[in-house]
Each structure stands twice: as structure tokens, then as C-alpha cells.
Amino acid sequence: MTATKGELRKAALLDATEHVLVTSGNANATMRNFATAANVSIGHLQHYFPARSDLMRAVLERVLQRSLAWMRETTGIDLEIGDNTAISRTESGRIVASMMQQQNDPATVRLYVEIWALAVSDTEIATVLRDFYRQYAQYVEVIIRRAQPGLAANVHQAKANAIVALLEGAVIVSAGFAGLQSKGTDNELMGAIQGLIHGPK
């Protein structure tokens, strides 16, 4: 389907916002700088995204959808919420490997780090970030529910939250900030996540 002019304008604004965050950091994450990077006025930017938190919400939503699309393309598995089709250990392994592989993209890692930094001092962006992680965890819950449908809903949620925590901690390791990246570490992480998804072998 062909994108509308409005959708194309929004995409260009989001591209510019991501560029500023990745190349200039959170200290330069102002509406003025985002507008300048997109070659538009602040008024034009605010027509589509009235507040910086609205812009960050749209950026994170696009990152999540991009990640899900890439995972579908590389694994052939869809994580539609409400889909209860059984999922095997092999299939979930491909999904987790795909998620871990995406953490090797320096631009994506930098984007997350800069938005985390913004959330520390901006309560509206902190709320946006919490909403993003709730949505992210819901997709992980789909995997667990399809692997272990007999578990209670609160157990699915707790396991999903634990997996998100493991993966987000792995971002720091994979990005090289902690200097702990190794093939053995990735294998241990995969084993821990698979244990949460399927239970012990």
C-alpha cells in the first residue's frame, strides 16, 4: 500500500529524530534540533508531534515494529498477540537468536541508550519508556504462552519480564560497554532464556 503524504512526512521527521539521537546524543535532543535536522520549522514538527514525549513514543513504536518485521523476515515466525499456535524449542531459539542479533546494531543500541538517558530527567518520556517495555513484554508473553499454555497468566507475565530484563542487560554487554561479550556468554544467555520459555529440558 502506498504511503500518504502525511505518513511520509512523519517518517522523515522520525528519521531526523533518530539521526539526532544516535549522532548527537540526548543532550541535543531538543525539538528545535529535531526540526532543524528534518529541515522544517518547529511548528511543522509540533503539528505531527506536539511534545517531545509524543516524538519519543513514535520513535519507539517504529523501532518495535521494525524489530518485529525483521524477526518475521528472518525466522518466518509471527508473534501476533492472541495467536496460540504451539511453538517449539527450535522455533523459539530462532526468535531469541534474532532478538540477540539485533542488539549487535550499534545505531539501535545507541538509540535506546539515549532515550533511557532522556527518561532519567523527563517524567513524560519515562512514562513513554515504561509503556514501550510493557508492549515489548507482551510480545515475549506470546512466545511463552505458545510454549507453555498451561501456566497461569501471572507466571507468563513474570517470565516475560525476566526475559526482557535479561535481553536489555545483554544490550549493555553486546554493545561492548561492559567488556563482557563472548560466544560463551551468548550461549549461556540463550540457555537461560530458553529455560524460561519452555521450562527445564
User: How far is 10 from 130, CA to CA, in rounded Å?
Assistant: 23
State residue 136's pLDDT score. Answer: 94
Q: Which domains does the chain have, with CATH numbers?
A: 1-50 (1.10.10.60), 53-198 (1.10.357)
Closest to 193 measured CA to CA, from 154, 161, 155, 149: 161
Q: Which three cell numbers stand for residue 4?
A: 500518504
User: How far is 33 from 38, CA to CA, in rounded Å?
Assistant: 9
One-letter identity of residue 121: S
User: How far is 30 from 125, CA to CA, in rounded Å?
Assistant: 13
State residue 177's pLDDT score. Answer: 60
User: How far is 106 from 92, CA to CA, in rounded Å?
Assistant: 24
State residue 174's pLDDT score. Answer: 64
What backbone phi and psi angles, to 5 degrees, belong to 64? -65, -45
Per residue in 118-170, pLDDT (tens digit) is 999 999 999 999 999 999 999 999 999 999 999 999 999 999 999 999 998 87
What backbone phi and psi angles, to 5 degrees, belong to 118? -60, -40
State residue 181's pLDDT score. Answer: 65
**pTM as predicted:** 0.89
List of the chain residues with pLDDT < 70: 1, 173-182
Closest to 140 measured CA to CA, from 71, 62, 66, 60: 71
